[in-house]
Amino acid sequence: MNKNNVVTLNPWENLKSFTDARIALGRAGTSIPTNALLKFQLEHAQARDAVQLPLDCEAIYLQLKNELSACPQAPELFAAERPLILSSLANDRGTYLQRPDLGRMLNKVSVECLKNEKNEYDLAICIVDGLSSRAIEKNVSPFLIKLFGFMKDESNYTFAPITLVQQGRVAIGDDVAQQLGAKAVMVLIGERPGLISPDSMGMYLTHGAKVGCHDAMRNCVSNIRPAGLSYKEAASKAVYLLRESRRLGFSGVNLKERTEQTHVVEVEEINFLTQQ
Amino acid sequence: MSEYRYTLGQEIFKFKNLADLMAKATPARSGDQLAGVAAQTEKQRAVAQICLADIPLKRFLNEVLVPYEEDEITRLIIDEHSQDSFQSISHLTIGDFRNFLLSDECTKDVLSGIRQGLTPEMVAAVSKIMRNQDLILVANKCEVVTKFRNTIGLKGHFSTRLQPNHPTDNMTGIAASILDGLLYANGDAVIGINPATDNVQQCTVLLKMIDEVIQHYNIPTQSCVLTHVTNTLECIENGAPVDLVFQSIGGTQATNDSFGFNLTTLKEAHQAALELKRGSVGNNVMYFETGQGSSLSANAHHGLDQQTCEVRAYAVARKFNPLLVNTVVGFIGPEYLYDGKQIIRAGLEDHFCGKLLGLPMGCDVCYTNHAEADQNDMDNLLTLLASAGCTFVMGIPGSDDIMLNYQTTSFHDALYIRKLLGLRAAPEFEVWLENMKIMNHDFKLSASIPDSFSKNLIGM
């Protein structure tokens, strides 16, 4: 049977160019047609897998070491004898998902592991799996390349060796910073995956990071991914926040991010329902 | 605050106070485990339910769970309790109350007669010893009707909020989702946008936009931009066309402090919206959203279980005669409701408790990608809620909210349940759908774009 005999298409399919929303799906009776159903299931499966997939920290570490080798900060970032691969107190994904409190603290082995690296640093970069390891695999390296590109004229930052954390929440960066002796921490973390964005990375900057910091003390740059906030834009916001937090001596809600471009309207937006 | 004890064979079970007993009696969920208030064993939970069933309803008037002096919601609950309405059930225990609710004598009219005599804690307590089918059957007896530009909540009717969100509030993108929703016969509860920013200017632009659509097509529905109540107040002051005032609410004063408002703020906003007199058939002007877990998330739960906190939020809602109340059940994530089973249970509890207290209760039947849930769980919850007489659900293109990154019910889902159970849109809206040739009386959608819309699509 020709499917077009059964599925009623929606003659407003051209509106799809204005939104990623699943409009004009057509219908079988009044239900979702098979094609749209299966596409949705696939995308849900991908988002679910993104949550479950463990972060391959060794591979990420090697990749970063390789790709950032030309940056002047590289010797500091990769100073540790062995990659600093850490874990939270959440032992597995099930625990991680149900116990945000455990995901905010390093386990004993990880704390031990950082003892040898304790020093005074301006900034620790802490890479955390969060809810999407794919976000880290895809975005962390290109983001950092842009970031260090913007920072190449700033030689007055001392960097702690880079850390990678499994089963971590944003606040685990506070623990890492405290153990390392870093004044500030930049956490790069996989965000809660959406159906069309299973690979979105977030950046959280906390100045004066120590265990027990409130979320109101952090600045966040969200939705870092090729189809979302570009690496260039995200890195430029991050550098602005780094400079300002250092100058002011704090980060968080009272540090307003003023790099924000006003919403650029490339094609004129119209409410075509009432205007023509 | 007295201790509760129960002896089972050789074992003695102790519960340190009423709040502890309530928490231990609550069906299992991850949020209560996270808070450290959940039953440690299944047996302890079952025993707690037995103990809870023996508690007289009166006890809840004498033993408050959050101190009266510290919490304006406790004061609201106690001060507004009606002894007259309570009189006929004042002799019952929680266990008797369940039997009473299920009895044939307990009709729709009896239920509305006792409403003001019920406190959230009484209602939460009885829900904890009710099975899913009890929650469905009793909720279905309640009828709560509210009005603004149409009539919502009538028996045999089922409404949807059209939720045309866009990650950058792109006007054309939002218009595309509104068109899709209207042509799928959705949007009688409200056309409600979650804005991408909390910018007041931006919210005003969106309010004007939806208002123009409603006026242009003469749609018997209302608009809402779901921004903070203080932003909506500013919008009203700036002359924006505000139909409904939105706010997320919680069940303790400390929760609402963390949300940045209190009862005085709501009172002011309610008054301001009433004075606009924009409703045509009624003047219910508030839209509230709730969800189990918000108090713990704000570290403001006072040792209560999350469901009891949730029902206390309904006391806040009821004070302001809302048009719509929506429990956003699966949005908060698996640390509060772990899987489909917990989300379904919570959705049915919230709907039952809200209806019993007299609220126009709807549900955002939803889940996130890190919860153990999928579309089948949502189908189950949607079907159960519609059977329970749920007032409204969300309608979104293809179930995917591209702004908030979660999945809720689609326009198609709404049509599924209407068709299956013969449920109709709000009567005024249904007449509009027929006049516009969008959907006929037999739930058949038009195959082509109705004329009034097609001319606006030329050149798009």
> What is the per-residue pLDDT across B403-459, written as a single tens digit (0 to 9) for each?
898 999 999 999 999 999 999 999 999 999 999 999 999 999 998 899 889 888 887
Chain B hits for A273, CB-CB cut-off 8 Å, are: 175, 178-179, 212-213, 216-217, 453, 456
Distance in angstroms (rounded) separating the CA atoms of residues A185 and A72 = 19
Q: Where are the domains of chain A?
A: 55-248
Q: Give the β-pairing of A7-8 and B223-225.
A: unpaired
Name the phi and psi angles at A39, rounded to 5: -65, -45
DSSP-derived 3-state class of residue B131: coil
Contacts of A32 in chain B (CB under 8 A): 398, 410, 412
What is the maximum alpha-carbon separation in chain B? 80
State mean pLDDT over B196-215. Answer: 91
Sequence-distant (≥ 6) Cβ neighbours of residue A213 within 8 angstroms: A171, A174, A206
Interval B298-351: pLDDT, tens: 889 999 999 999 999 999 999 999 999 999 999 999 999 999 999 999 999 999
Mean pLDDT confidence for B197-225: 93
pLDDT for the residue B116:
98
Is the domain spanning A55-248 CATH 3.40.50.2300? The answer is: no
| pLDDT above 50 (res A49) | yes
Judging contacts by C-beta atoms under 8 Å, the chain B residues touching residue A30 are 184, 412, 415-416, 419, 443, 445
Closest-CA residue of B relative to A15 is: B176
Give chain B positions within 8 Å (CB) of A216. none
- Output A145 or B460, whichever has higher pLDDT: A145
Q: Please report the beta strands in B207-333, taking only residues with DSSP state E, as ranges in sequence order.
A: 223-225, 245-248, 286-290, 324-327
A-chain residues near B163 (CB < 8 A): none
Rounded to whole angstroms, the Cα distance separating A100 from A183 reads 24
Q: What is the pLDDT of residue A261?
A: 47
- First-to-final CA distance of chain B: 67
- pLDDT at residue A216 tops 80: no
Residue of B409, B448, B460 lying closest to A9 (CA atoms): B448
Residues of chain B above pLDDT 90, percent: 92
Cβ-proximal residues to B199 (8 Å cutoff; 6+ apart), any chain: none
Rounded to an integer, the average pLDDT of B9-22 is 96
Q: Which two tokens stand for residue A18?
A: 């204005």
Closest-CA distance, B232 to chain A, in angstroms, reads: 22
Alpha-carbon distance A104 to B300, whole Å? 20
Average predicted confidence (pLDDT) for chain B: 96
Question: Min CA distance, A114 vs chain B (Å)?
Answer: 29
- Given a cut of 90, whether residue B141 has pLDDT beyond it is yes
Note whether B459 contacts A30, CB cutoff 8 Å: no
Q: Give the C-alpha separation, B98 to B134, whole Å.
A: 9
Nearest-CA distance A168 → chain B (Å) = 14
Residue B306, classed as helix, strand or coil, is helix
- Given a cut of 50, is residue A266 above it in pLDDT? no
Instruction: Note the pTM of the prediction, 2 decimals.
Output: 0.91
Residue A265: the pLDDT is 46
Interface check A272 vs B, CB under 8 A: yes
What distance in Å separates the CA atoms of residue B275 and residue B262, rounded to the nearest whole number?
20
Which residue on chain B is closest to A100 by alpha carbon? B335
DSSP string, chain A: --GGGTEEPPTTGGGGGG-SS-----EETTBPPHHHHHHHHHHHHHHHHHHHSPP-HHHHHHHHHHHTTTSTTHHHHT-SSS-EEEEBS--SHHHHHH-TTGGGSB-HHHHHHHHTT---EEEEEEEE-TT-HHHHHHHHHHHHHHHHHHTTT-----BPPPEEEES--TTHHHHHHHHHTEEEEEEEEEPPPPSS-TT-EEEEEEET--TT--GGGEEEEEEESTTSB-HHHHHHHHHHHHHHHHHHT--STTS----PPP---SS----TTT--
Q: Where are the alpha helices (DSSP H) in B93-183?
A: 94-102, 108-114, 120-128, 132-141, 171-183
Q: CB pairs under 8 A, 24+ apart, for B38-44? A: B38/B305, B43/B8, B44/B13
Residue A1 pLDDT > 70: no
pLDDT score recorded for residue A257: 63
Q: How many CB atoms lie within 10 A of CB B147?
A: 18
Looking at residue A263, what is its pLDDT?
Answer: 47
**Who contacts B458 (Cβ-Cβ below 8 Å, separation ≥6)?**
A276
pLDDT at position B174:
97
pLDDT attached to residue B168: 83
3-state secondary structure of B118: coil
- Least confident span in A196-210, A256-270, B242-256: A256-270
Looking at residue A4, its pLDDT comes to 55
**CA distance to partner chain A, nearest, from residue B447 (Å):** 7
Range in A169-183, A184-198, B33-47, B405-419 with the lowest mean pLDDT: A184-198
Q: What is the pLDDT of residue B388?
A: 98
Instruction: Give the pLDDT of residue A34.
Output: 96
Rounded CA separation A275/A269 (Å): 11
- Mean pLDDT for B94-106 is 98
What token pair was written down for A231?
A: 């690496």
| Contact between residue B311 and residue B353 where contact means Cβ atoms under 8 Å apart | yes
Whether the predicted pLDDT of A150 surpasses 70: yes
Give B363's strand partners: B327, B393
How do residues B224-259 score in pLDDT, each as one tens digit?
Answer: 999 999 999 999 999 999 999 999 999 999 999 988
Whose structure tokens read 């027929």?
A: B434
Q: Do A272 and B456 touch (CB under 8 A)?
A: yes
Q: Which residues of A214-226 are buried (b: 16+ CB within 10 A; e: fewer)?
A: eeebbbbbebbbe
In which order are the strands placed within the sheet that holds A163-166?
A84-87, A163-166, A121-128, A182-190, A201-207, A218-224
Mean pLDDT of all residues in B119-124: 98
Asked if B447 and A272 come within 8 Å (Cβ–Cβ), the reply is no
User: Which chain A residues have a beta carbon less than 8 Å from that of B458?
Assistant: 276
Average pLDDT on A232-246 reads 93
Distance, CA of A75 to CA of A66 (rounded, Å): 12
User: In terms of pLDDT, which residue wins out, B195 or B29?
Assistant: B29
Residue A28 has pLDDT above 60, yes or no: yes
Share of chain A above pLDDT 90, in %: 76
Are A12 and B183 an interchain contact pair (Cβ–Cβ within 8 Å)? yes
Percent of chain A with pLDDT over 70: 93
pLDDT digits (tens, 9 = 90+) for B166-175: 988 899 999 9
Rounded Cα distance, B173 and B403, in Å: 12
Q: Which residue has the higher pLDDT, B122 or A5?
A: B122
Give the separation between CA B281 and CA B283, rounded to whole angstroms: 7
Q: What's the pLDDT score for residue A16?
A: 96
Residue identified by tokens 């009432």 is A274
| Cα distance between residue B206 and residue B225, in whole Å | 7
